[in-house]
Structure 1
Amino acid sequence: MLGYFPVPYQDELLYSLVARYAQHTGLVGNQKSIVREVFSSSTAVAVPDLPSHLSSLVNNLQLAWPTSVEELIKSFTLAPVYLPFLSQQQASKTISSMRSDSGGDIHTRSGIAASVIKQQEYFRYCPQCLKEHQMEFGECYWRRIHQLPALGFCSNHSCLLEYSSISFHPREKHLFVAANEIKLDSSIRHIELKDIEGALHDRYEQLLQASQFKGLGYNRWTLFYRNLAVELGLVKNSRVCHQEIHRLLKRTWAGTTFEDQFNYSENNYWLTNLFRKHRKSFHPLRHLLVTTALVSELSVTKLLEKVRRLPEGVLVPSHFSKKVTVQNAAEYRYSWVDMLKRHPSAGVKELRSTERGDAIYAWLYRNDKSWLMSNRPKRKVNSQSHYAVNYRDWDAKNVAHLESVYEVMANVRNRPRLTRTRIIKELPRSNSVEKHLPDLPATSQWLTDHEESVEDFQLHRLRIAYEQMKSNDLEVKRWRLLRTAAIRIELVTPKIEAEIRRLEQS
């Protein structure tokens, strides 16, 4: 049972947490001791993306950090990127392997080992992100978003990611290396990102944060892409226009870092196979390349929900060659008219989101298009006039909202430091708030008065450490407080020293 474990940072890899634990406890270089203490096993391997032994780790963390296997997989591994695109059986076995103490088959089960898109050989990082981590936390860490295959840039700072000298899957299987332990290049190579590249980065990030643990299965994805081709008019004479799809996507991604993903090949071209019956899983990047370009209006959450509503186990119907009968057409027309009556004010998009609405629309579009076009709801015209932003009202609402949520945020036990950026994220329209802070003086002043300094955050961690010791009947000692609160000796200020003496004497 571990009495101490580092507080996780935003978007941090579990691998990075274990590496920081080794550094904080002085176990750097003693590989076997680290894995024995953390995983209660001498065979646990330092795997950054899909680690195993998670049940053992959770059991060992109950005193220092009560968490669950599901939370570790969701927030500190790369599993959320892969799971939705697997079959239910594959996803279930992948999660079981991550729970268990035998994870040697994880990369085979998840399809990563056989994928044409290979993982990078070394850990990657954004130099600007590292500088910000060093200033805010006093140390650096490995971020998940920087380790995603084929995503070689940081969207937040519009710069290329740099490669470290640390192998992503090293020969030393039990070695955890923290970002602080090596000298990293701090030079920044800025690039000009296109809007669609930023959109892909955002979708990758949304996918990381999605909680879709079940594989959606090959049949659902087959139906989704066939329906998509129909909806976009990329079907001719009951056949998907693969060449037209290729040209469309090639043109959309031209001049970006993903342009080479659309080099056409007559034999086994992935884009052609994606719009055919799925017999294997496709890499998440390829799903995102297509959906970012063709259904940009759908967030990742809505996209996965749309796919989830499709039939799971039914074989793909051969509706592209099915003969349309008068009876079929009459039934679908009746269903469509009935929906129009039940939802008189709804547009096409809203009608398709109702139960069976999408299926009815797709059938009529394929087989009775002229009638459907004559019986669509009228397009709604947005007659709302533009008006100037009322900054005074916005400012007052921001302050009221922050006052209502601050106490809850501050009292979360294992919370991150309440920096200005972290607090702003609690506000509605947070991105706009950051851009317009000069126009929001009350909001800006409130943030200045309430943002937490590094010293204040360390004092908060000291009090949490003190409570843990009291609850575990441990004697309150200076060294134990510093270790549990993860405060390095050289960072101890007079104020922190005074608080330590107070806690020792209380």
Structure 2
Amino acid sequence: MLGYFPTLYKDELLYSAIARYALHTGQENSQKAVLRDVFSSRTATAIPDLPSHLNALVQNLSTVWPTTVDDLIGTHTLAPIYLPFLSEDQARSVKQSMASDTGGNIHTRVGITASSIKQLSFFRYCSTCMTDQLALDGEAYWQRSHQLQGLDFCKKHSCFLNNSKVSFHPKEKHHFFTAAASCNSSAIRKLRLHHNEKVLNDKYLDLLEEPFLDGLGTNRWTMFYHNLAHDLGFIEKNRIQYQEIYLVMKQEWKGSIFEKYFTEPIENHWLKNIFRKHRKSFHPLRHLLVITTLAPDISTAEVLSKVRNLSVPAHDSDTMTNKIKKGKAEEVKQRRQLWLNFLDKHKSLGVKKIRLIPGGGSLYSWLYRNDYQWLMNNRPKYRPKSQLHYKADYREWDKFNVIALNKLLKELLCQSKRCRLTKTFFIKKLPRANSVEKYLHKLPGTREWLASHSETVEDFQLHRLRSAYEKLEELKLEVKKWRLLRFAGIRSELITPKIEKEILRLEQGRGQR
């Protein structure tokens, strides 16, 4: 149970609140402890948009903040923008995965992985919004509305969003990064927003802020778009006029930020597929582009209500349960037995090894697509590899590093053109560089060598001056101060007394080292 957890701000990501918890409790550099406190797990992953382990979090928060999994999903994750466009079963499955401790394929099932809408590379923020946060709340946090795919601006301040230093899917998968330590740029890139861009922004935020967590299914969306085309006169002789819809859409978004989504010809365009029978879900941004253009006066809540009230024939359902009832039950039974035979025959192997056996990979893939829950309950238990840990001989390692560094320095001093010899540069040249950096406190000889041989900026400028002198001598040019500075690439405002003294020495012809 948690004895403390920060109050979440409006429009704040759950990820951000956990990052603030780590900061407030002094555990920013001990993220495994944070995971243990918050999720009762040491292996939970720091996912910004669609996190899992929410059941454990709700239980741990019960004494300081009574909440529910649906409340967290609806108000502090990005799930609300995806769930309405999935089937009922898909939406339910995604929410169950977010609640449980097995959320590894949520992004695939939602459709983010396969979408052509570019995923975010970094967390984003608006400099003015962050200034307001600091003034009102005393601290910065990651806003949900700034992390929406395709929405690259802040409507409130009419400016582009800035990229932070934090990757949206970082390699440090257990680390929660705070906004305060990751947003250094205060640049504000203003832009003039079109009316359509403002309307789309509002509809996007409505989808996020008024969470509708049920899946409506592809069949209802097919009917909605067919009815929309009919009401607007885009149907002639029972055929949807895709070309006319495309031209209207292209004209409406011309000159806007979203113009790039209408560059392909209609034959291969997503717009044509969205007005056909839906065989897959489309990214929320694509739905909003169409609705903003063709139904601008209808709110997002009204659209979702209309879609929900459409009746879908029972025989047209695309859920896995009905697929099995229509003839796959026997096939599922056979494949389950084949999989159990594989497990019985190869008891010592894990999933990866079994999939490498002829027939194992295709069988696993079929069950994964058609009988996922049963497969997850009937797979080999994870067997952690037994690793033979050895105790490092730091004394010998230290001696080896010093010898290697002396040899490297000797080679570098013979080069007239070289980079600055910094501590980091030397470490990166050593074998096991990452380990050297990590255990430098246990390598006194290496540490002292680096401290005494690393060049300052001034030292490196002096080296460049001497190299410039040698070049002038080689070209038989008169050694002048301006020539030395130009050849050495040193700006006049960076000249220090020591550099000035060296220039004077070289001008007098005493350039020998």
TM-score range, shorter chain: 0.5 to 0.7
Q: Which residue of 1 is the match for residue 225 of structure 2?
A: 225
Once the 2 structures are TM-superposed, how far is the Cα of residue 221 of structure 1 from its aligned partner?
0.3
Matches within 5 A, 1:405-416: none
Change (3 A) 1:281 1:135: same
Change (3 A) 1:72 1:248: same
Query: 2:75, 2:211 within 8 Å by CA — same for their partners in 1?
Result: no
Q: Deviations over 1:204-239 (max 9, x none)?
A: 110002231111001100000011111000111211
Q: Which residue of 2 is the match for residue 278 of structure 1?
A: 278
CA distance in 2, matches of 1:37, 1:312: 45
CA distance in 2, matches of 1:296, 1:2: 46
Once the 2 structures are TM-superposed, how far is the Cα of residue 183 of structure 1 from its aligned partner?
4.2
Q: Which residue of 2 is the match for residue 298 of structure 1?
A: 298
Please say if 1:72 is aligned against 2:110.
no
- What SS does the corresponding residue of 2:163 show, helix, strand or coil? strand
Once the 2 structures are TM-superposed, how far is the Cα of residue 315 of structure 1 from its aligned partner?
6.3
Give the alignment's TM-score, normalised by structure 2: 0.61
Once the 2 structures are TM-superposed, how far is the Cα of residue 265 of structure 1 from its aligned partner?
3.2
Once the 2 structures are TM-superposed, how far is the Cα of residue 133 of structure 1 from its aligned partner?
0.3
Query: 2:2, 2:37 within 8 Å by CA — same for their partners in 1?
Result: yes
Matches within 5 A, 1:32-431: 32-265=32-265, 268-314=268-314
Aligned partner of 2:98: which letter? M
CA distance in 1, matches of 2:178, 2:293: 37
Once the 2 structures are TM-superposed, how far is the Cα of residue 313 of structure 1 from its aligned partner?
3.8
RMSD between superposed Cα atoms in Å = 1.3
Aligned partner of 2:198: which letter? G
Q: Which residue of 2 is the match for residue 320 of structure 1?
A: none
Please say if 1:27 is aligned against 2:27.
yes
Aligned partner of 2:218: which letter? Y
Give the alignment's TM-score, normalised by structure 1: 0.62
CA distance in 2, matches of 1:315, 1:84: 21
Q: Deviations over 1:394-439 (max 9, x none)?
A: xxxxxxxxxxxxxxxxxxxxxxxxxxxxxxxxxxxxxxxxxxxxxx
CA distance in 1, matches of 2:143, 2:252: 29
Query: 2:246, 2:266 within 8 Å by CA — same for their partners in 1?
Result: no
Query: 1:219, 1:313 within 8 Å by CA — same for their partners in 2?
Result: no
Once the 2 structures are TM-superposed, how far is the Cα of residue 195 of structure 1 from its aligned partner?
1.0
CA distance in 2, matches of 1:211, 1:188: 31
Q: Deviations over 1:292-341 (max 9, x none)?
A: 1100111000000000011234567xxxxxxxxxxxxxxxxxxxxxxxxx
Query: 1:40, 1:56 within 8 Å by CA — same for their partners in 2?
Result: yes
CA distance in 2, matches of 1:20, 1:315: 49
Matches within 5 A, 1:433-444: none
Once the 2 structures are TM-superposed, how far is the Cα of residue 105 of structure 1 from its aligned partner?
1.1
Query: 1:85, 1:217 within 8 Å by CA — same for their partners in 2?
Result: yes
Once the 2 structures are TM-superposed, how far is the Cα of residue 113 of structure 1 from its aligned partner?
1.0
Query: 2:91, 2:215 within 8 Å by CA — same for their partners in 1?
Result: yes
CA distance in 2, matches of 1:267, 1:86: 25
Query: 2:200, 2:288 within 8 Å by CA — same for their partners in 1?
Result: yes
Once the 2 structures are TM-superposed, how far is the Cα of residue 266 of structure 1 from its aligned partner?
5.1
Q: Deviations over 1:232-281 (max 9, x none)?
A: 00111211000000000000011110001011235542000000000000
CA distance in 2, matches of 1:267, 1:195: 28
Query: 1:220, 1:311 within 8 Å by CA — same for their partners in 2?
Result: yes
Structure scoring higher RCO (CA < 8 A, sep ≥ 6) equals 1
Q: Deviations over 1:147-188 (max 9, x none)?
A: 000100000000000000101011111010010123421121
CA distance in 2, matches of 1:160, 1:39: 35
CA distance in 1, matches of 2:152, 2:313: 37
Query: 2:50, 2:106 within 8 Å by CA — same for their partners in 1?
Result: yes
CA distance in 2, matches of 1:24, 1:254: 47
CA distance in 2, matches of 1:313, 1:22: 50
Query: 2:242, 2:266 within 8 Å by CA — same for their partners in 1?
Result: no
Aligned partner of 1:34: which letter? V
Once the 2 structures are TM-superposed, how far is the Cα of residue 63 of structure 1 from its aligned partner?
1.1
Unaligned stretches of 5+ residues in structure 2 = 317-513
- What SS does the corresponding residue of 2:170 show, helix, strand or coil? coil
- What SS does the corresponding residue of 1:258 show, helix, strand or coil? helix
Aligned partner of 2:55: which letter? S
Once the 2 structures are TM-superposed, how far is the Cα of residue 118 of structure 1 from its aligned partner?
2.5
Bigger-Rg structure (1/2): 2
